[in-house]
Amino acid sequence: MRRILVALDGSPESEQILDEVERVGGGQESIDLLHVLPKIAQEVPNAGVNVEDVAQEYLRKVAARLPKHPVHTYIWRGEPEDEIPKAARTLNADLIAMTTHARKGLSHLLLGSVAEAVVRNSSTPVLLARPDVPRPRKPLERILVPIDGSAPSREVFGSVRDLVGDSGTEVILFQVVVPVLVADPVTGFTPIGIPQPLPDPAPRLEEFARQLARSGLRTRAVVASGDAAAQILDHARSLDADLIAMATAGRKGFSRFVIGSVAENVVRHMDRPVLLHRISPKTDAGSQIQELHAQGTD
């Protein structure tokens, strides 16, 4: 990661993402601090000062807390969900970092809907963290990477490689086998306890892990069964993962990820940072075609 864009709204909650930026960065990356203001110039009530001046002073104080990094500050005007992805493209950022929720700051920036829109509208990977989750004081040692066996879900490894570099961070490939229950053709109800047999993904996952290991990544494969989101969150805790990294199709917010609505639930209930990598439009279009064929739709 050469350049990280950090979106801030003036609240202490939004600033908590800085702890994660310090963890995932290698120490030499440039950090861009971005604050988005409304298009119309405003003054602070009863103070007679311009909001832009207040915002610039705020960013200056935050930048002073990052003495090990080259830091640049930017104030843009507009809607945060539009301006954050635009700033990432303009500044050639390798990563956007932001909290998913925060109090209403100077620009009412980091609400959940804004984070969702940024993921949907940005081709730059997005690192999300909840401000109410305690930050561990240790380096990035282990990343859990859920995939669903498809090529699109593996696109996240571009971002994972950028994060890991030559640090030796362990990458855990994780795939969940979700039992498919067959519905009764007469009643339409799903008989409980009659699962449709599914192929074992372990051999292919382990082979993929060996391929990544030959390219220099320290990897291992883990397979589980059950509810996908619950298994991802449970294994992130049991394996002591510092980060969950997932791919997203980005078509309709958190509701249309490569592995269905799984990532929506992971982000909603996450107790550690989540990195979301939006797959390329070309791959996304291919995955839609595959979905249509799978559903028997013309």
Residue closest to 10 by CA, chosen among 105, 126, 86, 151? 105
Question: CA 216 to CA 181: how far, in whole Å?
Answer: 40
pLDDT score of 9 more than 50: yes
Mean pLDDT of the chain: 80
**Of 101, 129, 157, which closes a domain?**
129
Please count the structural domains in the chain.
2
Q: Among residues of the chain, what percentage have pLDDT more than 70?
A: 75
pLDDT score of 6 more than 50: yes
Split at pLDDT 50, 70, 90, the class of 281 is low
Report yes or no on 135 lying in a domain.
no
234 and 270 in a single domain? The answer is yes
CA neighbours closer than 13 Å in the CB half-sphere of residue 44: 11
pLDDT for 27 equals 67
**Of 98, 129, 160, which closes a domain?**
129
184 and 268 in a single domain? The answer is yes
Which residue reads 């310090």 in tokens? 22
Mind listing the pLDDT tens digit for each residue in 85-129?
A: 999 999 999 999 999 864 444 344 444 678 888 888 888 999 999
37 and 148 in a single domain? The answer is no
CATH number for the domain harbouring residue 49 = 3.40.50.620
pLDDT for 220 equals 95
In three-state secondary structure terms, 238 is: helix
Q: What is the mean pLDDT of residues 279-298?
A: 42
Give CA torsion, residues 162, 163, 166, 172, to 10 deg. Answer: -110
Report yes or no on 267 lying in a domain.
yes
Split at pLDDT 50, 70, 90, the class of 184 is low
150 and 267 in a single domain? The answer is yes
Give me the amino acid identity at 153. S
**Of 77, 108, 129, which closes a domain?**
129
Packing angle, helices 112-121 and 80-90, rounded to 10: 40
Most confident of 91-105, 246-260, 263-277: 263-277
pLDDT score of 17 more than 90: yes
Residue closest to 157 by CA, chosen among 231, 208, 232, 203? 208
Report yes or no on 134 lying in a domain.
no
In three-state secondary structure terms, 29 is: coil
Mind listing the pLDDT tens digit for each residue in 195-232?
A: 555 678 999 999 999 999 998 899 999 999 988 999 99
pLDDT for 192 equals 54
pLDDT for 150 equals 85
Residues 6 or more apart whose CB falls under 8 angstroms from that of 69 comprise 25, 27, 28, 29, 30, 31
186 and 251 in a single domain? The answer is yes
Q: Which domain holds residue 76?
A: 3-129
Split at pLDDT 50, 70, 90, the class of 11 is confident
Mind listing the pLDDT tens digit for each residue in 144-176?
A: 999 988 888 899 998 999 888 888 899 999 999
Q: Are the CB atoms for 29 and 68 separated by under 8 Å?
A: no
Q: Are the CB atoms for 75 and 37 separated by under 8 Å?
A: yes
In terms of DSSP bridges, do strands 274-278 and 3-8 run parallel, antiparallel, or are they unpaired? unpaired
Residues 6 or more apart whose CB falls under 8 angstroms from that of 109 comprise 7, 8, 9, 10, 14, 35, 36, 80, 102
Numbers of helices and strands, H then E, in the chain: 10, 12
Residue closest to 77 by CA, chosen among 107, 47, 122, 33? 107
242 and 117 in a single domain? The answer is no
146 and 283 in a single domain? The answer is yes
Report yes or no on 235 lying in a domain.
yes
Report yes or no on 40 lying in a domain.
yes
7 and 120 in a single domain? The answer is yes
Alpha-carbon separation of residue 256 from 90, 116, 173, 226, 263 (angstroms) = 27, 11, 21, 20, 9
Sign of CA dihedral 112, 5, 61, 74: negative
Of 16-20, 246-250, 289-293, the poorest mean pLDDT is in 289-293
102 and 184 in a single domain? The answer is no
Q: Torsions phi, psi of 47, nearest 5?
A: -115, -25
> Longest Cα pair distance anywhere in the chain, in angstroms?
73
Report yes or no on 262 lying in a domain.
yes
pLDDT score of 8 more than 90: yes
pLDDT score of 294 more than 60: no
Residue 287 or residue 191, greater confidence: 191
Report yes or no on 227 lying in a domain.
yes
22 and 165 in a single domain? The answer is no
153 and 44 in a single domain? The answer is no
pLDDT score of 193 more than 90: no
17 and 112 in a single domain? The answer is yes
